[in-house]
Structure 1
């Protein structure tokens, strides 16, 4: 394969995917609505089609004019979008859909492809746009991928958990980096052993390409950091990248109540561990970036940006109340 169509591709995962494809000598075409700045506008290796992917005629035109070997679908959030795309691009060598670890419908450690059940999805949920139905819709999109494969389409899904790294518009990791950058004493929810799988964005990009090149039709592949760290260990990685020393103060529900804060108010915190098995993807020859390198790049990007993640977690005034209570205990 040497040509790729990336549906999406200018914001976060898609942007890194385009860079990875270019590094591996693909000719790349973007299909976007044109509502965001195109970082590849001056790169003559990247063509751009402007249009709404929910318009069937736009997809059909892209299929005929680009005739890509591989299609990477980064912005499909409804099952109908995937059904249409797998039909329009049925003759391509690979269709790879960006799914999510949120598609899994049962809590178990680790969550494995083909073993851990997916969320159900009602007809009403399949057309909804709320956060509450995100996992249901992603699961149904995966089932659309599997159905297409049964019809002869080489369609596959890649399931990342929380994605972090340069250009992360969610700013969840940025909240923590900002805290460690500005303060020498921070609150850590719980006992610091909370475990939530994360994945560096460049590794998601390489996983999408590897699955297109080597994956099996009708399969889903989890992608995540191969080495998992607890929340406190993640904080230590950030501190090392910032070359700073920070005192961490643990606070449970009772202590957090002093600041009217709950455990789940903290970004990247999850009460029950969320862990994805990545063995299936690794068996294709995919490798993840060492955590220290991934965090160094993420911190460098944060410091060069104006991101602070301020809307993602408790404000500092509330945390100061918690810290004050803890000082008296």
Structure 2
């Protein structure tokens, strides 16, 4: 994605204090944590928009009593609903989307949500002169498969050779979303920042994301006394990022002067599959050893990637953000939350 050659205007910065911010796809892992951060930062009102097809009321139940929170039931594929919801809004965070598993199960529906839904929200932002849009993109824009190796910098193209179709479709949908944002900036001056999230994990984790699901599956197996499964030899890597760090990145994108940019939002360091499994075993105090069990062809899984890492230097330079929570601490927080949920 090529950046604008012009200097971003001062109006591209949206201070959170006193702002009205809408989160599309709010009843989610990232949405609920970002809402908490917005409220702590002094937002005047936070609108939590969701159709609750995937998001759950429980994810945002703890926010309901805050008088600055308004829950909006709406669907991003219905433009008229978005036109109503975005009236008087200063900033919009677009999280609502199907992920890789959605593209494997219902590809046409996933394309409709990720592409037409994104364009609908962009159009609503344009018509209501929303000051800034933050678009949740993904490191899937770099592709998937054994050819994805080394440092995945923001100027790399999509790699699709040997990748599962669902992963390619998901990555392509995020590329389209970024370019729709860029077109709206060039033609209408809608300021935006695209954040290319790595695999997000943390408290209120759901069971839909293929990669974060691997942590939960591993934990569940170990707690049942079953050996964890390594689909490969354990050397494949993945770059996770803790949800609290992602929420901070969302706020930093709003408040920065940057526009017409896409930046990686990744964790402190990448981790191999074997090391990730060991973190779960250590947390559980288990002496179980992993078993090697290759996935069936076409499985969308953590280990379908190669040895790579995702630099976040550009995010530091352009929006002033860096990750803070290392993987061991993040996994500890996630699994402690999971145990607390099991007790309730």
Q: Of the candidates 135, 149, 154, which is equivalent to residue 97 of structure 1? A: 135
Deviations 1:243-262 (A, max 9, x none): x03243453xxxx47xxx55
The count of aligned residue pairs is 288
After TM superposition, give the deviation of residue 221 of structure 1 in Å. Answer: 1.4
After TM superposition, give the deviation of residue 52 of structure 1 in Å. Answer: 1.8
After TM superposition, give the deviation of residue 203 of structure 1 in Å. Answer: 1.6
* Residue 205 (1) aligns with residue 247 (2): yes
Over 3 Å counting, the alpha-carbon distance change for 1:263 and 1:238 in structure 2 is: farther
What root-mean-square deviation, in Å, do the aligned CA atoms of Structure 1 and Structure 2 show?
Answer: 2.7
Q: Map residues 28-177 of structure 1 onto 2, 5 A cutoff.
A: 28-33=46-51, 36-37=56-57, 38-39=60-61, 40-64=63-87, 67-76=88-97, 77-90=113-126, 91-105=129-143, 107-113=148-154, 115-118=155-158, 133-151=169-187, 152-169=189-206, 170=208, 171-177=213-219
Equivalent residue, structure 2, for 1:325: none
Equivalent residue, structure 1, for 2:273: 231
Task: Give the TM-score normalised by the residue count of structure 1.
Answer: 0.78
Q: Larger Rg: 1 or 2?
A: 1
Deviations 1:281-321 (A, max 9, x none): 123332321323211111112213359xxxxxxxxxxxxxx
Q: Distance in 1 between matches of 2:316 and 2:287?
A: 35
CA contact (8 A) 1:69 1:94 kept: yes
After TM superposition, give the deviation of residue 101 of structure 1 in Å. Answer: 1.1
Show structure 1 runs of 5+ residues with no match: 121-128, 308-329
Show structure 2 runs of 5+ residues with no match: 1-14, 98-112
Mean alpha-carbon deviation: is it higher for 293-302 or for 34-43?
A: 34-43
CA contact (8 A) 2:142 2:159 kept: yes
CA contact (8 A) 1:173 1:268 kept: no
User: Secondary structure at 2:330's aligned position in 1?
Assistant: helix
Mean alpha-carbon deviation: is it higher for 31-40 or for 95-104?
A: 31-40
Mean alpha-carbon deviation: is it higher for 263-272 or for 221-230?
A: 263-272
Q: Distance in 1 between matches of 2:253 and 2:192?
A: 10
Task: Give the TM-score normalised by the residue count of structure 2.
Answer: 0.75
After TM superposition, give the deviation of residue 72 of structure 1 in Å. Answer: 0.4
* Residue 220 (1) aligns with residue 265 (2): no
Over 3 Å counting, the alpha-carbon distance change for 1:101 and 1:202 in structure 2 is: same
Equivalent residue, structure 1, for 2:103: none
After TM superposition, give the deviation of residue 182 of structure 1 in Å. Answer: 3.2
Q: Distance in 1 between matches of 2:166 and 2:286?
A: 40
Q: Distance in 2 between matches of 1:79 and 1:63?
A: 19
